[in-house]
Structure 1
Amino acid sequence: MDDFLAARLQMAFSLGFHIVFSCIGMVMPFFMCTAHYLWLKRKKAVYLDVTRAWSKGVAIFFATGAVSGTVLSFELGLLWPKFMEHAGPIFGMPFSLEGTAFFIEAIALGFYLYGWNRFHPWFHWFTGVIVGISGLLSGILVVAANAWMNSPSGFDLINGQYLNIDPMKAMFNEAWFSQALHMCVAAFVSTGFAVAGVHALMILKGQNVNFHRKAFQIAAIFGTVAACLQPISGDISAKDVAQRQPAKLAAMEAHFQTEKGAGLIIGGIPDTAAKTVKYAIKIPKALSFMATGDFNAEVKGLDQIPQKDQPPVAVVHYAFQIMVGLGMAMLGLAVIYFIALFKKKNWAESKWMLKLFVIATPMGFLALEAGWTVTEVGRQPWIIYGVMRTADAVTPMPGIAYSFYLFTAVYISLAIIVSLLLFRQITMVDKLYDSSTDKKIQ
């Protein structure tokens, strides 16, 4: 394995793990605070039990997110020194602000975890809200930095020098809003369906049904509402990408030929040699409408992109299809769930409904990983789009393959440890609480 490939794989692997930890860490505090609010308003002990159980999960993912995020910050400097040399002074502001948000989140989480029976109940609840808001801001600020890589701004490139730097313009670049919106909604979708699926499974097993039913209801509402909003954010992102990164859009859709009234490709196997897509379903003029809002507009194909500037078509296309397919599946389940809530109330707690949520448990995170693949691989061969190539940013240091193997082992170990901790936490819940009452077993 050459060092360039090893560096890319190490970064991809690290990001793939961190994005799951960070999204759960961003969203779970809102679930926790919702259960806490219901406890304060209704005084049912089951909501207090849910709150305490989820707060332990929040602590676990805060710690793992901090560890994996710290590793990523070191990897940026060690693996991509040329990138950090030039880009660091430009988009350093969102990273520094993210550090501030993380600092506030850590303090608020400490207050929340150790504030039981020490603070006024509503102030205690408010510290949990601060945990959620600061965590969400941390995610938005990191995505703003990544958006800058897709839409570089806030500087003038003169004779190879980055001059007239404007950090605010760099942070609030053209891509930051669409990427931050899409990412935040995706975090709520993936975490909501995952948490709801776990509690649905426990209900089906008949373990601590009252506890898991309340937890399921909160997580399912968050996840299904977000699933209904995701197509809107996706449409905003698609139109943004069509304007700024036509090569990425062309790879997403395996759109080889520039044409007006371009059709939308669903599925299919791209044949880059023959410039065709086999076995695909094509919706006439839909791609033009998705990209521009005009059914007859021209959409640039890969034929107008130099070969050296084209991203890997197959990888981007398959990842995009997986993301959209899983997103539509969760949207369909969300619609069924809302019908159950408002029209067919007997569906809401039926076994088949719970089984659907169990099946959907991993869908959000699979879609999340696929979407991140589209974002990162679709930008290639650029690390700063149109400015610096990824191959020019990699470290000259040899032996990166060994670093990749080491960090892969660390992340796999971390994932196993976190999974065991969460499993232990779930099983402990069923030992502590009676499934038929709102009271703890003493």
Structure 2
Amino acid sequence: MDDFLAARSQMALSLGFHIIYACIGMVMPFFMAVAHYKWLKTKNPHYQNVAKAWSKGVAIFFATGAVSGTILSFELGLLWPKFMQHAGPIFGMPFSLEGTAFFIEAIALGFFLYGWGKLNPAFHWFTGVVVGVSGLASGILVVAGNSWMNSPAGFDYVNGQYLNIDPIKAMFNNAWFAEALHMTLAAFAATGFAVAGVHALMIIRKRNVAFHKTAFKIAAVFACIAAILQPFAGDIAAKSVAKRQPAKLAAMEAYFHTTTPAPLLIGGVPNEKEKKVDYAIELPGMLSFLVHDNFKGEVRGLDTIPQQDQPPVAITHYAFQIMVGLGMFMMAVALLYFTALWFKKNWQVKNWLLKLFVAAIPTGFIAVEAGWTVTEVGRQPWIIQGIMRTADAVTPMPGIAYSFYIFTAIYISLSIVVIFLLYRQIRMVPVVYDKPEADLQLNHH
């Protein structure tokens, strides 16, 4: 493995792990705050137990997210020093603000974890909300940095020099809103389905059913709302990509030739040698409609992009298809769940519906990983779109392959520890019986 491939692989590995921790850290505090609010209003002990249990999960992912995020910060300087030399002064603002949000999140989380029975109930709940808002802000600010790489703004590039720097314009670049919205909904859907699926599994196994039913409903509602909204956010993001990064869109859809009108391809195997896609299902005019809001618009293919500026087609196309396919599956589950809530209430106790949520446990995070693959691989060969190539930004330091192997071992070990801690937390959830159940237990004994 050469050093360039090792540097890219190490960054991909770090991002791949960190994005899961970050998504959960962004979203779980909102679940926790809702459960806490419901407890304050109803005094139902199940809500209190759910809030406490989830707060411990939030603490675990806050710690792992802090570790993995810190590693990523160092890796930017270690692996891509030329990128940081030029880009740091331009898009440093969202990262500095992210540090502030992280600091606020840490303080609020401390208040929440140790405030049970010590703080004013309303203020205690408010600290939980602050954890969620600051965590969400952290994620959005980091996405602002990434969106700048896809849509550079806030400077003039003249003769290799970065002049007239405006950090505000850099942070709120043209890609920022579309990426932030898409990523936020993805985080809610992925985390919501994972959490709801775990609780659904416990319900199926009849373990502490009342507790898990309470938790399941909160997580499922969040997940399903996000899953239904996500296609609309995806449409906004796709239109943004078509306008700013036509090469990425062409790779996503495996469009080797400019086409008018352009069909939407479902599935298919890109044949880069013959410049075609085999075995794809074509929906006539649909890609033109998604990009231009009409069925006759032209969609640029890779034939309009110089060969040296074209991203890898197969990886980008497959990742995009996986993301969309899993997104459609989650939306279908969401529609079934809301049908059960509003029209078919007897479905809520059916195992088939719970098993769909169990099946959806990994789907959101796989979709998130696939989406980030599209974002990053689809931008290649650029680290800053149209300005700096990835190969020109890599460190000249030798031996990066060994660093990649070490970090791989670290992340795998960290993930094993996290899984163990979460498993222990699920097993330690206290059982609280409703009054009729408690009476039955007493009569039985």
TM-score tier (shorter): over 0.9
Q: 1:211-244, CA deviations, whole angstroms, 9 ceiling, x for partnerless residues?
A: 0000000000000000000000000000000000
CA distance in structure 2 between the partners assigned to 1:155 and 1:222 by the alignment = 39
Indicate how the Cα distance of structure 1 residues 435 and 412 shifts in structure 2: closer, same or farther if over 3 A, else same.
farther
Three-state SS of the structure 1 residue aligned to 2:267 is strand
Q: Which residue of 2 aligns with 1:226?
A: 226
Q: Which residue of 1 aligns with 2:161?
A: 161
Structure 2 contact 192–219 (Cα < 8 Å) conserved? yes
Correspondences of 1:294-305 after superposition (within 5 Å): 294-305=294-305
CA distance in structure 1 between the partners assigned to 2:150 and 2:213 by the alignment = 42
Three-state SS of the structure 2 residue aligned to 1:294 is coil
Correspondences of 1:154-233 after superposition (within 5 Å): 154-233=154-233
Structure 2 contact 28–191 (Cα < 8 Å) conserved? yes
Q: Which residue of 2 aligns with 1:433?
A: 431
Indicate how the Cα distance of structure 1 residues 153 and 45 shifts in structure 2: closer, same or farther if over 3 A, else same.
same
Q: Which residue of 2 aligns with 1:382?
A: 382
CA distance in structure 2 between the partners assigned to 1:284 and 1:142 by the alignment = 37
Correspondences of 1:12-91 after superposition (within 5 Å): 12-91=12-91
Indicate how the Cα distance of structure 1 residues 312 and 426 shifts in structure 2: closer, same or farther if over 3 A, else same.
same
What displacement does 1:258 show?
0.4
Q: 1:279-302, CA deviations, whole angstroms, 9 ceiling, x for partnerless residues?
A: 000000111111111211111000
Q: 1:383-407, CA deviations, whole angstroms, 9 ceiling, x for partnerless residues?
A: 0000000000000000000000000
Runs of 4+ in structure 1 over 2 Å off:
434-439
Q: Which residue of 1 aligns with 2:317?
A: 317
CA distance in structure 2 between the partners assigned to 1:276 and 1:355 by the alignment = 39
What displacement does 1:121 show?
0.3
What displacement does 1:433 show?
1.3
1:204 partner amino acid: I
CA distance in structure 2 between the partners assigned to 1:305 and 1:159 by the alignment = 23
Structure 2 contact 309–380 (Cα < 8 Å) conserved? yes
CA distance in structure 2 between the partners assigned to 1:436 and 1:344 by the alignment = 26
What displacement does 1:435 show?
5.5
Correspondences of 1:108-147 after superposition (within 5 Å): 108-147=108-147
User: What stretches of structure 2 of length at least 5 have no aligned partner?
Assistant: none
Structure 1 contact 227–334 (Cα < 8 Å) conserved? yes
CA distance in structure 2 between the partners assigned to 1:177 and 1:336 by the alignment = 30
Structure 2 contact 27–188 (Cα < 8 Å) conserved? yes
Q: Which residue of 1 aligns with 2:247?
A: 247
What displacement does 1:260 show?
1.4
Three-state SS of the structure 2 residue aligned to 1:348 is helix
Three-state SS of the structure 2 residue aligned to 1:380 is coil
Three-state SS of the structure 1 residue aligned to 2:349 is coil
CA distance in structure 1 between the partners assigned to 2:160 and 2:241 by the alignment = 27
What percentage of residue pairs aligned between the two structures are identical? 71
What displacement does 1:436 show?
5.5
User: What stretches of structure 1 of length at least 5 have no aligned partner?
Assistant: none
1:232 partner amino acid: F
CA distance in structure 2 between the partners assigned to 1:91 and 1:272 by the alignment = 36
Structure 1 contact 381–389 (Cα < 8 Å) conserved? yes
Structure 2 contact 311–377 (Cα < 8 Å) conserved? yes
CA distance in structure 1 between the partners assigned to 2:107 and 2:409 by the alignment = 31
CA distance in structure 1 between the partners assigned to 2:241 and 2:369 by the alignment = 18
Structure 1 contact 209–436 (Cα < 8 Å) conserved? no
Q: Which residue of 2 aligns with 1:341?
A: 341
CA distance in structure 2 between the partners assigned to 1:360 and 1:238 by the alignment = 24
1:338 partner amino acid: F
CA distance in structure 1 between the partners assigned to 2:137 and 2:291 by the alignment = 29
CA distance in structure 1 between the partners assigned to 2:205 and 2:345 by the alignment = 21
2:66 partner amino acid: A
Three-state SS of the structure 1 residue aligned to 2:118 is coil
CA distance in structure 1 between the partners assigned to 2:433 and 2:13 by the alignment = 40
CA distance in structure 2 between the partners assigned to 1:21 and 1:100 by the alignment = 19
1:157 partner amino acid: Y
Q: Which residue of 1 aligns with 2:5?
A: 5
CA distance in structure 2 between the partners assigned to 1:182 and 1:18 by the alignment = 18
Correspondences of 1:91-102 after superposition (within 5 Å): 91-102=91-102
Q: 1:8-50, CA deviations, whole angstroms, 9 ceiling, x for partnerless residues?
A: 0000000000000000000000000000000000110010000
1:349 partner amino acid: V
Structure 1 contact 208–436 (Cα < 8 Å) conserved? no
Three-state SS of the structure 2 residue aligned to 1:257 is coil
CA distance in structure 2 between the partners assigned to 1:314 and 1:375 by the alignment = 14
Three-state SS of the structure 1 residue aligned to 2:15 is helix
What displacement does 1:264 show?
0.4
Structure 1 contact 199–212 (Cα < 8 Å) conserved? yes
Structure 2 contact 46–432 (Cα < 8 Å) conserved? no
What displacement does 1:434 show?
3.9
Q: Which residue of 1 aligns with 2:398?
A: 398
Three-state SS of the structure 2 residue aligned to 1:157 is strand
CA distance in structure 2 between the partners assigned to 1:170 and 1:86 by the alignment = 13
CA distance in structure 2 between the partners assigned to 1:247 and 1:282 by the alignment = 20
CA distance in structure 2 between the partners assigned to 1:257 and 1:263 by the alignment = 12
CA distance in structure 1 between the partners assigned to 2:40 and 2:434 by the alignment = 21
What displacement does 1:76 show?
0.1
CA distance in structure 2 between the partners assigned to 1:219 and 1:176 by the alignment = 27
Three-state SS of the structure 2 residue aligned to 1:194 is helix
2:217 partner amino acid: Q
Structure 1 contact 209–435 (Cα < 8 Å) conserved? no
CA distance in structure 2 between the partners assigned to 1:366 and 1:348 by the alignment = 26
Structure 2 contact 16–369 (Cα < 8 Å) conserved? yes
CA distance in structure 2 between the partners assigned to 1:333 and 1:117 by the alignment = 39
1:153 partner amino acid: A
